[in-house]
């Protein structure tokens, strides 16, 4: 046999062995749906080299051992999350809603706490102005964390307010995701904040992109939006630190977000969440901030921070969404820009409509991700057949992530209904029980609905075969995206 033939057989055997090893690894990986395992096996078999490379880059939710160790050490140094904001107010919640807060507590250990108040911001610009006003009034500390921070009007307003606060002696800490805010972190504005005395950190730093895959997945990001001022005020919602015009993706503008300003014990939970994130990356102990006495209790509603991520237990956000859907009796309204569900979420949404609950979900008509847009529409037929009302917002890119339940319960925050939020992103949300505030959020959802024509079954059924094949093929790849 010629040397070239021997070499070819050796290369073939090496390739086959490598494929087998990665197939076994994909099959043994914990917390993996059968469909996901099958999808990865098919990819590795059909495109051997590219499939193995893809699996190395994207096949596992690997945050990195060093990062997980630092986070674990941070939680060990901080007061336990369960009691950081006072005793549980579970007894103040109707029995049928208690399991919702128990699911939330199982995610990040924060208990439902009473005495909270909230104000819904009119729009993105008003939210930024309110944040700036609160920062300008700060006396002790300002903590901010954003996934995307742009050097536009809104981004610079917040940056300049932080500089002013730091110069007058307020302890200011600002963190932004290293990938989502890469341009701003490397800009003169970031350096100006450092010069003014603002302590800065880039969340989940990428470092050398060629070496990063050997340590952790490069696309595992901190998607949270957290602002905590003086341990007395916090903001939660979908808005990044940027104008609605969103210069990095201006063709989809305006980006339509939702943000709420909270006061009460739930602020301390967001403070704890920020502190754990900061200490997981920076050599600074913020635990003294979490041991100060809480303000005297006041009248207000029950609320709870739900913070999910790769360092938290598996399937945290999907279980939260499913629990909320299953609890609906009269009405369920959801807004989300990205919908690539797992099977339990799709089934729970359909089941909600089938048992007579008025079930509405609002997506943007034009999505900034063509992959998500195609995958989302592959689920339309089943949703419509079950009786779910699908609406597509036409006034820009609807980026608000909200859920209201029977006019009494609200979930607001950063988490989308897609696999990225479920498995890769660090997210933060607030779950609350209050008819008055839920009515405000429901009214905002109605504004979105009024600008979102309903999708008719005839429209979906008229979709061309080619388009159906395309959408279903993209959705089929969901487990490996």
Task: Please report, for the chain, the start and end positions of each structural domain, with discontinuous segments joined by +.
Answer: 3-58, 65-85+111-300, 316-480
**Cα–Cα dist 290/141, whole Å:** 13
Distance CA 121, CA 132 (A): 13
The two domains 65-85+111-300 and 316-480 share their CATH topology (first three levels equal): yes
Instruction: Supply the DSSP symbol for 55.
Output: H
CB atoms within 10 A of CB 436: 10
d(CA 413, CA 219): 20
Among candidates 83, 68, 117, 73, which has minimal Cα distance to 269? 83
Rg (CA), the chain: 23
478 pLDDT above the threshold of 70 = no
Fold of 316-480: Endonuclease; Chain A (3.30.870)
> Higher confidence at residue 211 or residue 256?
256
Average pLDDT over every residue of 60-72: 78
Neighbouring-strand partners of residue 304 = 431
Q: Options 3.40.50.2300, 3.10.20.30, 2.60.120.10, 3.30.870.10; which CATH number does 65-85+111-300 get?
A: 3.30.870.10
Q: How many CA atoms lie within 13 A of 269 on its CB side?
A: 34
What are 151-192's pLDDT values in tens digits?
A: 999 999 999 999 999 999 999 999 999 999 999 999 999 999
What residues are annotated to the active site?
Answer: 223, 225, 230, 399, 401, 406
Q: Give the separation between CA 364 and CA 256, rounded to whole angstroms.
A: 10
Query: Residue 54 — very low, low, confident or very high, per pLDDT cuts 50/70/90?
Result: confident
In the predicted structure, residue 207 carries a pLDDT above the cut 70: yes
**Burial per residue of 78-88, b for 16 or more beta-carbon CB atoms within 10 angstroms, e otherwise:** bbebeebbbeb
pLDDT of 385: 97
Across 220-224, 441-445, 474-478, the highest mean pLDDT is recorded for 441-445
Rounded average pLDDT over 255-275: 97
Tell me the average pLDDT of the chain.
91
DSSP classification of residue 454: B
Interhelix angle 153-167/188-196, nearest 10 degrees = 20
Q: Which residues contact 24 (CB under 8 A, 6 or more apart)?
A: none
């Amino acid at each position: 046999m010629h040397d070239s033939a021997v070499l070819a057989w050796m290369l073939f055997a090496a390739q086959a062995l490598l494929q087998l090893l990665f197939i076994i690894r994909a099959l043994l990986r914990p917390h993996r749906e059968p469909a996901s395992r099958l999808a990865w096996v098919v990819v590795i078999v059909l495109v051997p080299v590219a499939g193995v490379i893809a699996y190395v880059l994207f096949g596992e939710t690997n945050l990195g051992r060093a990062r997980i160790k630092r986070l674990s050490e941070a939680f060990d140094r901080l007061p336990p999350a369960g009691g950081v904001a006072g005793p549980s107010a579970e007894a103040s919640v109707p029995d049928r809603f208690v399991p919702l807060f128990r699911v939330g507590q199982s995610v990040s250990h924060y208990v439902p706490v009473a005495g909270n108040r909230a104000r819904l911001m009119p729009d993105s610009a008003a939210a930024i102005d309110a944040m700036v006003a609160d920062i300008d009034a700060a006396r002790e500390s300002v903590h901010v964390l954003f996934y995307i921070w742009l050097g536009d009007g809104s981004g610079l307003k917040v940056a300049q307010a932080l500089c002013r606060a730091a110069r007058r002696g307020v302890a200011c800490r600002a963190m932004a995701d290293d990938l989502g805010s890469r341009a701003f972190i490397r800009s003169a504005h970031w350096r100006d904040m450092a010069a003014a005395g603002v302590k800065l950190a880039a969340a989940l730093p990428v470092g050398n992109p060629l070496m990063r895959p050997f340590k952790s997945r490069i696309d595992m990001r901190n998607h949270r939006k957290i602002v905590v001022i003086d341990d007395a005020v916090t903001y939660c919602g979908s808005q990044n630190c940027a104008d609605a015009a969103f210069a990095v993706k201006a063709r989809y503008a305006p980006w339509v977000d939702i943000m709420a300003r909270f006061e009460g014990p739930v602020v301390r939970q967001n403070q704890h969440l920020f502190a754990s994130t900061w200490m997981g990356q920076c050599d600074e102990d913020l635990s003294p901030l979490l041991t100060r006495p809480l303000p005297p209790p006041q009248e207000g509603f029950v609320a709870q921070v739900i913070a999910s991520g790769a360092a938290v237990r598996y399937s945290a956000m999907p279980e939260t969404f499913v629990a909320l859907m299953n609890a609906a009796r009269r009405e369920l309204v959801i807004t989300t820009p990205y919908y690539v569900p797992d099977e339990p979420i799709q089934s729970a949404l359909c089941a909600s409509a089938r048992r007579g609950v008025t079930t509405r979900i609002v997506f943007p008509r034009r999505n900034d991700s063509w992959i998500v847009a195609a995958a989302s529409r592959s689920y339309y037929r089943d949703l419509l057949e079950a009786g779910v009302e699908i609406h597509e917002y036409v006034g820009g890119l609807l980026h608000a992530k909200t859920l209201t339940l029977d006019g009494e319960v609200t979930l607001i925050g950063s988490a989308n209904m897609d696999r990225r939020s479920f498995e890769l992103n660090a997210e933060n949300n607030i779950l609350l029980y209050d008819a008055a505030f839920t009515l405000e959020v429901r009214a905002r959802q109605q504004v979105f609905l009024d600008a979102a024509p309903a999708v008719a079954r005839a429209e979906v059924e008229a979709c061309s075969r080619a388009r159906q094949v395309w959408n279903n093929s993209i959705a089929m790849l969901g487990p490996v995206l």
